[in-house]
Chain A
C-alpha cells in the first residue's frame, strides 16, 4: 500500500505527512530536485495523460499533485511493484479536502507552524478508495463501477444500511447491470432477493469466492490502521475507525455481492453458493452486530467525517463546473482587468500571448520542441494566477518566461575548471596520486572542435599548465595537420609570454582512436603533463557505426570531462545532436557540458543554447565568440536571457 503521503509547501515545509520510516526524506527531495527544479523529466506536453505523472526512484514510485493557489504539493509514495490504480483519485480528493478544511490556516501567516490534524480524514479516504478499488477489480468494467461507486457514496451518507431502504436503487442498478452484461441469468427475480436478504448471507459467498487472500489482507490492513492510530489517538476515534471499516465493508460487500452473484451464475457455482448459504449466516451477523453495538457512538462520528469529506469532494466538482458558466460574466470585467490588473488568468487568456511567445522563441532559433515545452511550463505556472495591479497579461507572461529561461540555463553547480584541474593534478591528500586531467571534445563535423580545443588550450596555457594535445581524429585527412598548426602557434604564443607548455601527441591516420587516446593519457602521465586535450573525429549524430565507437573511446581514455561542441547556427537539429551524443558513451557516462561555437555570427538568435540544455539538462560551459584564441567566454545567463527576450 502507500508507503508515504506528504503535504508540503513549495517553500519546503512538510505540513502534514504519514510516513513509513523506511522511506528516506531524500526520495521526496529527489522528486523536487529532478521534476520541479531541474525539470529533467518533464512529462511530454503532447500526451495529456489522464492520471498524475509518475516519478520513479529506487524501488518507489511517486505521484504528485500541485495546488498552485496555496503553493502546496501533495506527494504519494508507494512501491513500484504495486499497481495502485486509485492513487490519482486519492491525490485529487485529498487535495480538495485538505485545502477546503484548512484554507483559513493556509492563508494565514502562520500556515507553517499550526498543526494540521488530518490523520483521520486521510485514513478514511484511503479506506474508502481501497474498498472501491476492490469493486472495480471484481467487476472489471468501469462504467458500472462508477455508477456503483456513486451509489455507494450516497448510501454511505444515508446511515447504516437497513436492508429495505437501499433495495429500490439497488434493483435499478441491477437492471443497469443486466443491460450491460448480457448474462444468461435464468432467475432474474432471485438476485434482488438475495441482495435484499442483506449482507450477512452474502458475506460468506464473497469470502469463499474472493479467496481467503484478499480477505486476510484487508484484515491486516485494518489492523495496521488501528495500530497507526494507537499512537495518535484517543480511544474513541480508533474504535470508530474499526467500526467504520466494519460497517463500510458490510455495505461494500453488498455491492460486491451483487457482482459476484452474477459471476457465480455465469460460472454456475450455484450449488456451492447454496451450501454456504446455509451454514454461514449464524457466524457473521453476530460479529457485525457486536461491532455495531460496541461502537454506536463512534460510528456516528465517522459518518460525519464521511459526510464531510464527500461533500467537500462534491463541492470541488461543482465549483469546477460552475466556473465554466461564470466565465462569460467574467469576460467583460476581464477586459478591464487586463488593463488594470488583478485578473485571474485562464487558459484562454494565455492562449494567444503564448502563441506569440512561442513564435518569438522560434525566431530566436530555439528548437520547436524546446519552445513548446517552455511555453507549456509557463502556461501551467500561470493559469489560475492573479495578475498584479496595473500588470498586463503580456508582462506577466514575459516575466515568467524570463525566469524559466534563467532557470533552465543556470547550471546546478557552476564549473570551475581551473579548480578541478588543480584538485586532480596536485591533490590535497596523500592518498590520491597526481595524474593528468583529461578533457575530450566531441561533436558533429565542421562545428569547430579543433578550434575550440585550441582556445581551451590557450586558456590553460595562460594559467601556466603543461598541456598535451592528442590528435585522435584518425579518420579525416588533414585533421592531424590542422592540429599541428594550432599546436605550433600556441607554442609560440606561450613561449613569448613565457607561460605553460604545449605538445602534440599524434599517431597518424587509420589507427583506432580509443587506443591512441589511451596511449596519449599514459604518455602524459609519464611525462608529467597537467592536462590532456583529446580531439576526436567529427561524426554525424545519426551515424550508428561511428557513434557506437564513442563508448569504447570513453572507456579507454576515461576522460574527466567530455564536452560537446555545437554550432549556434544549427536549428532544430540541435536537440537530436545533443541527445544522441549524450547517450553515446554508454550507461553511466554522459556529456559534462556544451561548448557553443560561432556565437558571434548569430547576433541575438542564441536559441541553440536553450535547445541543447533543454534536451539534456547538461550545462553550457563555454561560448566561442570569434576567430582568435582568446575568443572563449563563460556563459552569462542574464546576458543570454536578455538576448532571447529582446
Chain B
C-alpha cells in the first residue's frame, strides 16, 4: 500500500498524510513524542546545575587564597584529599564549586526543618563560581581590582556577584608592620569600590548593593602566632581609619587636573569623622563585613568548628 504513494504534488502529499497510512502515523507519533523531549533538553540542560552566584578571592600575597581555592575545589570534587602546595600566583583562575550539602544556604532559611522539600532541595548540590586572584602588589590593580570592577558591573557578570572573600594571614598581622598596612590598604581600596557602587545605586541600602558582602577570612589560625579574628578586626579597623585619614591629606594624583576638584572619596559614611568601624560601614553604606577565623591547613572532617567550615557557612548564607 505504501509503495504506490504519490509524493509528486502538494495536494497528493496532503492527501496521503491525512490518510490513515502508517508512515503518516509514525511521523506524527515521533513528532508528538519528540517535541517535548527536545524542548526539555534545550531549556533545562543548563538549569540542571544552577550556579547561584560568584565570589571573588582577594587579599595580600601569601595570605592563602590559592590554598583555599584549591582546597574548596578538591573538596567539591571529592577526588582526593591531598592538597597541593602553592606559590605566588601570577594569573587569576576561576572554577565552579559545589557547596557541600551539609551546609545550609540562605534561600532555605525560612523553611521549617521538618519541611519535606528541604531534604529534597539539599540533594541538588548548590554551586557557585569562585575566582582566585594574585595578591602581589604589582598585579593587584591589574587583576584583583579590575576583576572586582568587572564582576560588579551588572551587565558583564552573568551570575550575580554575591561576595568578596578577603583573605588575610592572621599570623603576619600580629606585629605592627608592613603586612598589616598592606592588607589594610588593599581592603580599604576594595571597600571603597563597594561603597561607591552602593552609593551610586541611589539609596544606601538598596537591594543590589546589599548583595555583595565581604568576608574577612582570618586565615592560618592553626599557627601559634595567629591573631584571633576579634583582634584582626580591631587591627584592620584601626589601620583603615589611619589610612583614610592620610589619604585625605596625601598628595593629589597626577591624573587629577587641578581645576576640577572632584571631592576625594572617603571610606565610611561619616566623611572621615570619628573612628572607622566595619559596623558603621554596614549601617551607613550598606556594605556588610564579617571577620571569621579559619585555617586552610588544618581542615579535617572531624572537627567541624575549625578549618574552613565557617567560611563555607558564610558562603552558604550569601547564596
Contacts and interface: CB of A to CB of B under 8 A. Distances in A.
The bracket for how many chain A residues form the interface is 35 or more
B138 interface: yes
A467 to B, nearest CB: 15
Given A414-B185, A416-B181, A636-B255, A11 B141 contact: no
B136 interface: yes
Contacts of B90: 10-12, 32, 36-37
The bracket for how many chain B residues form the interface is 35 or more
A410 B139 CA distance: 8
Interface in A623-646: 623, 625, 632-640
Interface string A381-418: 00000000000000000000001001100111110111
A32 B88 CA distance: 7
Interface string A579-622: 00000000000000000000100000000000000000000001
Contacts of A635: 253-254
Given A8-B87, A416-B246, A13 B66 contact: yes
A109 B252 contact: no
Interface string A449-472: 000000000010011000000000
Contacts of A413: 137, 178, 182
Interface string B114-154: 00000000000000000010101111111000000000000
Contacts, number: 137
Q: Which of B82, B84, B95, B246 has the most CB of A within 10 A?
A: B84
Nearest to A642: B255
A14 B250 contact: no
A10 B74 contact: no
B242 A10 contact: no
A356 B139 CA distance: 27
A637 B249 CA distance: 20
Nearest to A638: B255
Given A13-B70, A112-B84, A599-B254, A407 B246 contact: no
A3 interface: no
A489 interface: no
A428 B85 CA distance: 37
B253 A11 contact: no
B186 to A, nearest CB: 10
B137 to A, nearest CB: 4
Contacts of A71: 91
Contacts of A407: 138-139, 142
A114 interface: yes
Interface in B69-123: 69-70, 73-74, 77, 79-80, 82, 84-93, 95-96
Interface of A: 8-15, 17, 25, 28-29, 32-33, 36-38, 71, 109-110, 112-115, 403, 406-407, 410-414, 416-419, 428-429, 459, 462-463, 599, 622-623, 625, 632-640
29 contacts: A11-B66, A11-B90, A12-B86, A12-B89, A12-B90, A13-B66, A32-B90, A37-B90, A37-B138, A110-B77, A110-B79, A112-B95, A113-B70, A113-B77, A407-B142, A410-B138, A410-B140, A411-B137, A416-B185, A418-B246, A428-B176, A599-B254, A625-B254, A632-B251, A633-B251, A636-B253, A636-B254, A637-B141, A638-B255
